[in-house]
Structure 1
Amino acid sequence: MSVGLLADRIGRERTLSIASAVFIIGAIIQAASYGTFWWELENNSSADYEILHTDIPTITVGRIILGYGVGVCAGGVPLYISEIAPAKLRGRIIGIEQMILCLGEMIAFWLNYGFTFLSIDSWWRIPLAIQILPAVVLGVGCWTFVPPSPRWLVAQDRLECAHEVLSRLHGSQSADIEIQDIRREHQFERIVTQATWADMFKKPVLRVTLLGMGVQWFQQITGTNSILYYTPTLYEKGGITNANTANLATGGVGVVLFVFAWIPIFFFDKLGRKTWLQIGVVGMMCAMIGITILQWHAEKYPGAAGNYAIIAFPYLFYVFFNISWGVGSWTYATEIFPLSMRAKGNALSTMSLWAGCYIVAQVSPPIGAAIGWGLYIIYAGICCIAFFFVRYAMVETRGRTLEEMSKLFGIEDKLAQRSGVDADMVEAKTGVEYVEHAEHN
């Protein structure tokens, strides 16, 4: 949620730098946890249980601090990308982010897996400490190298800086057109709305808020992290009892995520957002049904060779997830909000995603323990609901500039009508203001 505050006040890229610094603090606390207790452990063996138990709060505090950095980056990076990307390439560039994210997940898993073979008890400190290195690169890079968002610069009335950034990104000819569109939209929104948190839940913006939060909510509640977090348990219930086999099969999920993350880079912008999301959710639903059938089969026929077929279905789920919802929900949630409300809208959407992630992570084990394979029937049903949400509630946005979104969703006309402002007059006035500003400078 703090993305909505920080990104508007200090800029998108500076917000990511602050998040990286917080992340580093959390990673250090995690990697150093229970180091201060070793002296007592070595000299008072009777305190073993107490020491190991009291260390859990240290790791938890580190994870909470680190989680703040993760949360801000999760919302801030797509927000920044959407504001610097050309309309026709916005999905592709967020697809590149998704591919790199999947690469990081794959590297993290195999690093963890490799370090388990070390003969030292504190092997787990090493992968926790390695997190610090990319966080330093991100933090320093965003503070010194990454240019500010041109749309944030316009909101700060730094038009020449915004034009310079747009020229570097898209060329001077495109920059001349874009800067006037952005300036016009900002001027209009400044007149007709205060862009407060309360405005996010009032008409006509309420619809867009619900769509952004809804698409991110369904991205999680359809079960993606239930599979990712609990894949070894899923395989165990599917009849794979060998722990090493289950772990290697789980590592294969990371490989599949990375390989199929390349598809949206080349094809996501060729079809509509709604088309990809519908294709994806149908495939995800079929994968959930397959997991259900094979867990039922393993329950009835333990030890059967056919039980190993369950390995394919988490892979199938992530094939369809990665070509659709993994990119589509982030792209859609960052592009649909008006300029003055985009940071707040993206904060709410990302909060909705993490709320869904938390619920899925917490409820999956007890529900799975209570009803077994019935858990995946529930997820298949949620996928069905998500399909109707995409088909009948969402509005297609492919190829639209960010400044066109207010008109596409009817926000511009309704805000103008409510405020008694003629949007065409604002557009004409903004064009004159920009020319005068450029001549003056």
Structure 2
Amino acid sequence: MNDDKKAEVVHTEDVVPLQAPPEDERPWYKQPELRKLYLMMPFLFLGSTTLGYDGSLLNGLQTMPAWQSCFAVLVFTPYVADLCGRRLGTAIGCCLVILGAAIQASAKASNPDTMFLAGRFIMGMGSNISNATCPLLITEVAHPRHRGKVTTIYNTVWYVGAILAAWTTFGTLIHLPGDLSWRLPTGLQCAMPGIQLVAIFLLPESPRWLISKGQHAKAKTILTKYHGNGSETNFVCWEFNEISGTLKLEKMASAESGWYEMVRTPGNRKRCLLIILTAIFSQCSGNGLVSYYLSAVLNTIGITNSSNQAAINGGLTIWCWLVSLGCAFLVDRVGRRTLFLISGIGMLVAFTVWTACSAVYAKTGDSAAGSAVLAMIFLFYSAAGFAWPGLTVSYTVEILPFKIRAKGLTLCFVFTSLAGIFNQYVNPVGLETLAWKFYFVYIAVLVIECLVIYFYYVETRGPTLEEIAILFDGKNANVAGNGMQVVQRVVTIDEEKNEK
């Protein structure tokens, strides 16, 4: 090759990880301060458990005013998280939940509607605030090596609250007379936020929030204590420098126009679309049929006894929790995108068989086909548990830069609620009009979902919370140069052909 030929070059870019300083490789339970941090995490998980308890307790009692109050509160939620901090924001939410639950439980028997609705509004405010601050604190204070698993566990314990509410109301309806049968489970909503309120200040504040407020020394003290077990190791210094440098770059580059920052850059627009799709898929993949209308679905296959339906519902809820909790420990081993894809394909297969068996039962009344539908419902939720219960929140918070993390999580909740409205008001019409044929709508949705996940979702396993920005923004990412860098390679055209 002559010199002129060699001059023909191609510029390519690779994202290359830089070598981070060595960290303590011991398991978390053998590191005293990290062990202490993670043993306090269940107090933050109570935010999701409270939401699950409330949702199960009042399933089917949602009204349009309740939805409107939900959306009104969501607009202000990120400002509470960003201005007051993750801990104080959680405490404010807990106080409102306790107040709302107390008002509901003490509603006058002669005219309970006004007090009950007022309590619902206040409690809705509180639960939305605490549910928006808890996952932020979890993901921002966790060690980089454990961030994915710990944050994914958060949303799976929603089922624990649902299980507690279901069995509490079952017991009080049978054993307690009169108003006490509903006042007691309503008042018990104070228990979990009460525990959380007492314990929240035992947990450290988010180092990232502290740095954003100029409190660098406090942030470094927290990182040193929990990520360095009390020693200011090279790893702690590296992590602190990456966080503080990245937040400084974010601040310099971001717009000061609030919500506009969500769509200002191509990377942020992609993040927003992923968040919206994740929220919708988490609710509208066929799971809403069972979540809201299990009784109607079971009626279509001949299971009409209320006791049998209640037992199936209780068993399904416990099964969903166990599957989703187990899958939360796979996020770093298997990867987020892979789990989403396994879940989507699994749900598609199960739902297709579910639909076919429903058609057979509708035409023949064959009890075996009805039993197969019930089995497919459990298999469908097993597949869903690989991703949607846990990753809906954890994937959302980790793909967002700190500057818009609270707003992006709010965007997720808004579209989750909108999808919930669809489930509540469209599904019953479809089931009543088309019966099992309505399932074809969700087969089409699941096909689209699998394609979108395969071609559009971004794998986030591996990088730190700050370094994930490079996956979306490339060389324009506002990331301090500690962890990853975009390296430009220069190769001849012949070399490029050989590489291909």
How far, CA to CA, are the matches of 1:223 and 1:72 in structure 2? 28
1:66 CA displacement: 2.0
* Pairs within 5 Å for 1:39-118: 55-56=112-113, 58-118=115-175
Report the residue type matching 2:214 in the other structure.
Answer: D
1:57 CA displacement: 5.1
Which residue number in structure 2 is paired with residue 369 of structure 1? 432
How far, CA to CA, are the matches of 2:227 and 2:197 in structure 1? 25
Residue 138 in 1 paired to residue 196 in 2? yes
* Pairs within 5 Å for 1:20-419: 20-35=94-109, 37=110, 55-56=112-113, 58-122=115-179, 123-142=181-200, 144-171=201-228, 172-173=232-233, 174-194=235-255, 196-204=258-266, 205-302=268-365, 304=367, 306-410=369-473, 413=476
TM-score for the superposition, normalised by structure 2:
0.75
TM-score for the superposition, normalised by structure 1:
0.85
Which residue number in structure 2 is paired with residue 13 of structure 1? 87
Query: Contact 1:337/1:406 (CA < 8 Å) preserved in 2?
Result: yes
How far, CA to CA, are the matches of 1:57 and 1:238 in structure 2? 40
1:415 CA displacement: 7.2
How far, CA to CA, are the matches of 1:327 and 1:424 in structure 2? 31
* Pairs within 5 Å for 1:417-436: none
Query: Contact 2:93/2:130 (CA < 8 Å) preserved in 1?
Result: yes
Higher mean C-alpha displacement, 101-110 vs 159-168: 101-110
Q: How many residues align?
A: 402
How far, CA to CA, are the matches of 2:478 and 2:461 in structure 1? 24
Structure 2 vs 1, CA of residues 234 and 56 (structure 1 numbering), >3 Å: closer, same or farther? Answer: farther
How far, CA to CA, are the matches of 1:424 and 1:304 in structure 2? 63
Query: Contact 2:324/2:387 (CA < 8 Å) preserved in 1?
Result: no
Q: Deviations over 1:20-41 (max 9, x none)?
A: 1111222223223342x1xxxx
Query: Contact 1:95/1:261 (CA < 8 Å) preserved in 2?
Result: no
Query: If each structure's helix is expressed as a fraction of its own residues, which one has the higher value?
Result: 1
Structure 2 vs 1, CA of residues 315 and 168 (structure 1 numbering), >3 Å: closer, same or farther? Answer: farther
Structure 2 vs 1, CA of residues 175 and 414 (structure 1 numbering), >3 Å: closer, same or farther? Answer: closer
Q: Deviations over 1:174-232 (max 9, x none)?
A: 32111100111011111111352112122232221221222122111213333122212
Query: Contact 1:238/1:299 (CA < 8 Å) preserved in 2?
Result: yes
Unaligned runs of 5+ in 1: 38-50, 417-422, 428-441
Higher mean C-alpha displacement, 397-406 vs 302-311: 302-311
Query: Contact 2:153/2:390 (CA < 8 Å) preserved in 1?
Result: no
How far, CA to CA, are the matches of 2:440 and 2:104 in structure 1? 37
RMSD value over aligned CA atoms? 2.4
Structure 2 vs 1, CA of residues 199 and 412 (structure 1 numbering), >3 Å: closer, same or farther? Answer: farther
Q: Deviations over 1:382-416 (max 9, x none)?
A: 12211112111121111111111222211661779
How far, CA to CA, are the matches of 2:285 and 2:154 in structure 1? 22
Query: Contact 2:354/2:372 (CA < 8 Å) preserved in 1?
Result: no
Unaligned runs of 5+ in 2: 1-73, 485-500
1:117 CA displacement: 1.3
Report the residue type matching 1:264 in the other structure.
Answer: C
1:91 CA displacement: 2.1
